Amino acid sequence: MMSTSQPKPKAFAAGASLVWRRQRILWWIFVVNLVLAFMGAAGASHNLADDAGVTLNHSTEAARRLVHGFDMSALQELGSLPQDPLRGTSALAALPSILFLLFMLFATGGILAAYYEDFSLDASAFFEAGARCFWRFVRLLVYFVIAMIPVVIIGSIAGKIYDHIDDVSVSPYASVWFGCAAVAVILLLLMAIRLWFDMTEVIAVAHDERRMHKALRLAAGVMWRNHHSLFWLYFRISVIGWAVFAAGLYLWMIRLHPESGAKALLLSQAMILFWIGARLWQRASEASWYKQYREAQAVSVAPPEPIAPLIPTEEELAGAPR
């Protein structure tokens, strides 16, 4: 009797291997992000030199907290000033972020094609895959915004409940525990939605599906049947990414000497590089998982080979020697 059990896709290490073998994708995204970040920081840098300089010159304590270390609270206070020195010089300050979003929408098709097919795409094939999926993913972005509306409503309701508990509760910890639980639930919802749309993009590339509403339904079905495997895969990589990023922030804010400008720059770029790599690790793992899943499905539905009959037919009996 043939076993009907299917092997579970193992994509955690396979995704990391894909990112390493196709690391040109990682470096291209990092370089584009670095160039656009430099463009976006130019306006804020000019304002900091003018408005913030005047403010810091009149406050020795504020200057010390930013010059002799990286103080997040001091940076928040600086951003709350009436002149808002952290703003861009004009409405064009958001242009680098918009350009990076468009770049990633265009590049995602080529990235997923390279990960799913597991071979290095040349420039023409990469751009062809990206152009083919660009408008599909733009439509998918609209669906994503719609899917985020319930999460925003839940977050707003949770905030009002938190304020109410904080006002009426005698214990100061009641609101804190409720806030932690609400944040955990909202984070899980956000991760589930992001995983859903990630798998939709993988399915759109794997099946060359043009209809995003159909791809969303297919991805929802795959997630419903394999939610433990997929969510655990996504969650582990997310935890690793957050842990490394938090360790980098700790080194930057606590351990790094303020005078070490070059080291601070290298550390910050290493954090960004790893963060991009962790996100690509998720995408590569999802593509590898779905490829293994499709192969397992194809094997399970393949028709069995015909078995030779044990009883000889009349033709075989007629031709048998006597």
pLDDT values of the chain reduced to their tens digit, one per residue, 322 residues: 444 445 556 789 999 999 999 999 999 999 999 998 888 776 656 555 554 454 454 454 555 555 555 555 655 665 555 555 555 445 566 788 889 999 999 999 999 999 998 877 788 888 899 999 999 999 999 999 999 999 999 999 999 998 888 888 777 788 889 999 999 999 999 999 999 999 999 999 999 999 999 999 999 999 999 989 999 999 999 999 999 999 998 888 887 776 667 888 888 899 999 999 999 999 999 999 999 998 888 776 555 555 555 555 555 555 555 5
Q: With H, G, I as helix, E, B as strand and everything else as coil, classify residue 184.
A: helix
Q: Which amino acid is at 64?
A: R
Which long-range contacts link 178-181 to residues 24+ away (Cβ below 8 Å)? none
pLDDT at 2: 41
- Tell if the pTM clears 0.85, that is, is over it: no
> Are the CB atoms for 96 and 90 separated by under 8 Å?
no
Query: Phi-psi region for residue 5, left (φ > 0), alpha (ψ -120 to 50) or beta?
Result: beta
Q: Which of 294, 112, 104, 136 is nearest to 202 (CA)?
A: 112
Look up residue 159 and give its two tokens.
């905030």
> CB under 8 Å to 240, separation ≥6 — which residues?
278
Which long-range contacts link 76-79 to residues 24+ away (Cβ below 8 Å)? 78/52
